[in-house]
Amino acid sequence: MLEMISEHACFGGVQRFYSHQSKEIGLPMRFSVFLPPQAREGKVSALFCLAGLTCTEETFMIKAGAQRIAAQLGLMLITPDTSPRGANLPGDSESWDLGVGAGFYLDATEAPWNKHYRMYSYVLELYELIVREFPVHPSSIGITGHSMGGHGALVLALRNPDLFKTVSAFAPICAPSKCPWGVKAFTAYLGSEQESWQQYDASALMEQKHAPFPSGILIDQGLNDKFLEHQLFPQVFEVACQKAQQSLELRRHADYDHGYYFISTFVEEHIRFHHRNLGGTV
């Protein structure tokens, strides 16, 4: 049962925030949807936008500045929350990079996380809800994300290319099995057996593929990003794409950091990339 929390007129369309009871999470979850004006007339293409550590379903919609160009092109935007809320698990609010706001878009197998922390399956649950309840072309849906959300976007796309036809990312965590954020989260959520980590590591997944996205993958990375050297490892994903013969446009930008000023600078190009490769003409 969908509950609309609020709605706001925006660039001729409408920005809405919803709550629903999630079967996968076992708790109420929130998500946001931007409906472009074209959605009043029929089905449109859609883009899932996964946010990063500490963020919510509101962050991308408020800070990225994506609605203007999405309204122009007729692209629906969907942003889920980044973790369960209200699980009240031991230690789930003690650090900013584990627990609340840090679900890492995976399905936890270790107690106590495994009962509610199922964000990988939740995004797929939300996908089904969006296709069922909103005017979306099921064959015209892409995914993007930032940082932890960039990791999630790459993993979800690589594991579900039949669902997500296009993929891009801003400063994604490209090889979480090799970085402190990923090792901390994967150990807590998945256990110490690193073989199980590979299913949520975009670089490891890409090495097992052969050109899964013919339209290419777009990644933007700021060179003044304080997390670049020790957490993000885009060069590892770049090598994996070369092995997989996957076309990758990895754009490195001097001066830009990890935040939403960086995202808002390049978000229009990402929106156009997805629209074009989902069948748009602009």
- Tell me if 258 sits within 8 A of 226, measured CB to CB: yes
Q: How far apart are CA 166 and CA 176, in angstroms?
A: 21
> Would you list the DSSP string of 94-144?
SBTTBBTTB-TTSB--STTGGGT-BHHHHHHHHHHHHHHHS-EEEEEEEEE
Catalytic residue annotation: 147, 225, 258
Query: What dihedral angle (degrees, nearest 10) is formed by the CA atoms of 182, 187, 188, 193?
Result: 140
What lies within 8 Å, CB to CB, of 20 at 6+ separation is: 1, 2, 3, 28, 29, 31, 129
Q: 230: closest CA among 191, 149, 268, 175?
A: 175
